A = this chain, B = another copy of it.
Amino acid sequence: MNSAEAMDRIFNPASVAVVGASPGKSGQEFLEGLIGYGFEGRIYPINSRGEEVCGQPAYSDIKDVPGPIDYVVCCAPAPAVPGLIRDCAAKGVRAIGLFTAGFSESGSEEGSRLEAEIAHLARSVGVRLIGPNCLGIYNPKLRLTFGYPHPQGVGRVAFMCQSGGNTSYIIRAVGQRGVRFSKAISFGNACDINDGELMEYFAQDPETDVIAAYIEGVRDGPRFRRAVMRAAAAKPVIVHKGGYTPAGAGAAASHTGSLAGSDRVWDELLEAAGAIRVHSLEDLVDMIVTFSLLRPPQGRRVALFGGGGGATVVATDDWDRSGFTLPPIPHAVRKDISGMVTSEAGLILTNPLDLSSFAYSDDFYGLVRRLCQDTAFADLSVIHIGFAQMAWFSETNYSLVVDGLREAAMRMYPEMDRPLALAVQYLVTTWDWQKALQDLQEPCSEVGIPVYYSMASAARAIDRFMRYREWRGVAGGES
């Protein structure tokens, strides 16, 4: 069995035991996650008193479990971990995900010593460790999770992340925008399974098309360097280096015991590899959404349809600054859409097209259809919607717009062959508007339209995507 096969087996357990699954403790949260998300394999709660938890009987010791156990989630205290590793070896367990903290991240000599000890012990008895100080494996194919609610369904993005909270955040934030995962892993202090090994695995994983990573510090620099070079040559790799500032490096040390490494070295490595570096979780989300969902534009001509005259000026700045051009709307399209206008305010049939002029149209769907299907003049269409920039927007108005756009998205997008993106400006005053925008955004995300939360972030993300494709030599070419 090669290392990829071994890692495949770790990510695909048929049975999971949760050690420390006592009522009211963290282990119960893991258990609730597995049950709530619908894990397909066997689940064994373990707690020292053999106390029933989540309505399930528990074993008081892992050795008492009758069947085989592939994966163990460990919530036991740090001093109990060495004994558990030995018991797991005896039981034939493939890997232990150590939620347990109090190792090198504590900054204490004892913590570091214990971490070295468990790493050595695990190697000697043939059990792999994830963590410690982590949440472990998320594999939606098996409905294996550590958190809940997480989106159902399988996708083609792999996420490797040292922080448990950031893993949860990315799964949720990206999931909300229609992206699903092949696998994700929160791997904490990385005392055994580490960044380099995971990057190698995802590079060759046939279930993974895009690799995203949040890394606070690498454990084996040369291995990681080789792995990221190989991975980025094979598929898009998006990296957020947490702790890239001096103070951030200190925070990373006390979070995952990481040696952060020089920011410049990271810049050079990721640029040499052709990986995409981001500096915030928001940008990480935007890049995952873009690489997962955006149909590749053949060029940088963009057609913008958005709400409000001032908004169109601001949006034009956003896209120009990001290196896009805005071709004029052809005469035939202008002619057709001018008949759909009822506005009394300034009507400007230019690109960007101010959709607020059409807010009262009784055929908003027909308008969007005419605009987006006939965009031979552009390589990409982006619709911008944010009610706060429309001075008057009654419930009737925004229902018309939302219903029209949703209808257009649901009916038209699957049959379109052109790239389309949506920028939804959520942060507006009224709760009703936010709800209406969510009613629009979610179906668009589900149908696969990349959704952004501002025109500026959409322009930045799509520019990064285009630059990546230009670097790969595929711009304007195959998708």
Q: Copy number in this complex?
A: 2
How far is the CB of A167 from the nearest CB of chain B, in Å? 8
Q: Find A165's partner among B307, B430, B431, B434 (CB 8 Å cutoff).
A: B307
Structural contact, A255 and B317, CB atoms closer than 8 A: no
Structural contact, B251 and A312, CB atoms closer than 8 A: yes
Is the CB of A169 closer than 8 A to any CB of chain B?
yes
Q: Given A251-B350, A326-B247, A427-B173, does the pair A391, B146 have CB atoms closer than 8 Å?
A: yes
Is the CB of A133 closer than 8 A to any CB of chain B?
yes
Residue of A148, A168, A242, A246 with most partner-chain B CB within 10 A:
A168
Categorize the interface residue count of chain A. Answer: 35 or more
With A and B bound together, what is the CA distance between A151 and B429 in angstroms?
9
With A and B bound together, what is the CA distance between A255 and B308 in angstroms?
10
Structural contact, A345 and B99, CB atoms closer than 8 A: yes
Q: Which A residues fall within an 8 A CB radius of B? A: 25-26, 29, 32-33, 75, 99, 101-102, 105-106, 133, 135, 146-149, 151, 161-169, 172-173, 175-176, 214, 216, 242-248, 250-252, 254-256, 279-282, 307-314, 316-321, 325-326, 344-348, 350, 352, 356, 386, 388-392, 426-431, 434-435, 438, 453-454, 456
Structural contact, A255 and B312, CB atoms closer than 8 A: yes
Task: Name A360's closest neighbour in chain B (CB-CB).
Answer: B24
Q: Given A321-B245, A427-B453, does the pair A169, B388 have CB atoms closer than 8 Å?
A: yes
Given contacts A25-B344, A26-B345, A167-B310, 17 further A-B contacts (CB under 8 A): A99-B345, A101-B344, A146-B391, A151-B429, A163-B310, A164-B308, A165-B309, A167-B391, A176-B428, A243-B316, A243-B317, A247-B326, A251-B317, A254-B350, A255-B312, A280-B456, A427-B453
Residues of chain B within 8 A of A313, CB atoms compared: 163, 216, 242-243, 248, 251-252, 255
Structural contact, A75 and B344, CB atoms closer than 8 A: yes
Q: Find A310's partner among B102, B166, B356, B430 (CB 8 Å cutoff).
A: B166
